[in-house]
Amino acid sequence: MRKKSDQTRRKIVEAAYYLFYRKGFVRVNLDEVAARAGITKRTLYSYFRSKDDLLAAALLHYSALDLERLRVIGARMPPTRGAKIDSFFGQLVEWAGTPRWIGSGFTRLAVELADLPGHPARAIGRRAKLATEHWLAGLLKEEKVGQSNARAREIMLLMEGAMVLMLIHGDRSYGQVAAQAAKRLLKSR
């Protein structure tokens, strides 16, 4: 019975994750999540007390996927510093070119919940963005980049800005411009 319970919970979380990512938190209702998961709304409520609890579970699921994506990105990177930067932003540009790309779910959610700074989803998003920043700092430290934590923060700004501008303008060249800026930043240090 436990296995079926775990499978149902996973179906609910995956359905919610998909819908929240595609449509946004506010625009999704729990009837839609239940329908996508192939369960009743009553069953959904037996697993999650509220839409906020479900959002937290979906974001934790997404955080795990995000860390796995970083491992894949890292595995695809060539060994030299400039080439790593090109690869990092190149993979971002590649992602932005996928059908129906809508940017970072964590960034979009932070904007959507901007008037609720204490919302638990914002804390999960912060932790996920910090995990990416720490991952970048680790890469830079391996490359013997001085002040790797500060440089990682600057590259995060370039990455987030590139994602938002690619989304706004539908122009992936912002990712390439961000890569060039990151390489100049690292050369100047």
Instruction: Please check whether residue 137 lies inside any domain of the structure.
Output: yes
Predicted confidence (pLDDT) at residue 183 exceeds the cutoff of 80:
yes
d(CA 163, CA 92): 8
pLDDT at 116 (0 to 100):
86
Instruction: Please check whether residue 138 lies inside any domain of the structure.
Output: yes
Predicted confidence (pLDDT) at residue 3 exceeds the cutoff of 80:
no
Segment 48-98, tens digit of pLDDT: 999 999 999 999 888 888 888 888 888 888 988 889 999 999 999 999 999
Range of the domain at 164: 57-187
CATH number, domain at 160? 1.10.357.10
How many domains are there within the chain?
A: 1
Segment 8-22, tens digit of pLDDT: 999 999 999 999 988
d(CA 110, CA 150): 23
Q: Which residues of 37-73 are buried (b: 16+ CB within 10 A; e: fewer)?
A: bebeeeebeebbeebeebbbbbbeebbeebeeebeeb
Report whether 147 contacts 113 (CB < 8 A): no
Instruction: Please check whether residue 10 lies inside any domain of the structure.
Output: no
Position 2 confidence tier, pLDDT thresholds 50, 70, 90: low
Q: What is the mean pLDDT of residues 17-41?
A: 94
DSSP 79: S
Q: What is the mean pLDDT of residues 154-182?
A: 96
Q: Among 90, 99, 108, which Cα is nearest to 176's? A: 90
pLDDT at 167 (0 to 100):
93
Q: What is the mean pLDDT of residues 39-56?
A: 95
Position 182 confidence tier, pLDDT thresholds 50, 70, 90: very high
Instruction: Please check whether residue 98 lies inside any domain of the structure.
Output: yes
Predicted confidence (pLDDT) at residue 1 exceeds the cutoff of 60:
no
Least confident range from 45-59, 107-121, 133-147: namely 107-121
pLDDT at 65 (0 to 100):
84
Q: What is the mean pLDDT of residues 165-175?
A: 96
d(CA 52, CA 55): 5
Instruction: Please check whether residue 133 lies inside any domain of the structure.
Output: yes
Instruction: Please check whether residue 17 lies inside any domain of the structure.
Output: no
Instruction: Please check whether residue 50 lies inside any domain of the structure.
Output: no
Vertex 19 angle, CA 122 and 58, to 5°? 45
d(CA 4, CA 2): 5
Instruction: Please check whether residue 70 lies inside any domain of the structure.
Output: yes
Position 4 confidence tier, pLDDT thresholds 50, 70, 90: low
Report whether 116 contacts 122 (CB < 8 A): yes
Mean per-residue pLDDT over the chain, rounded: 91
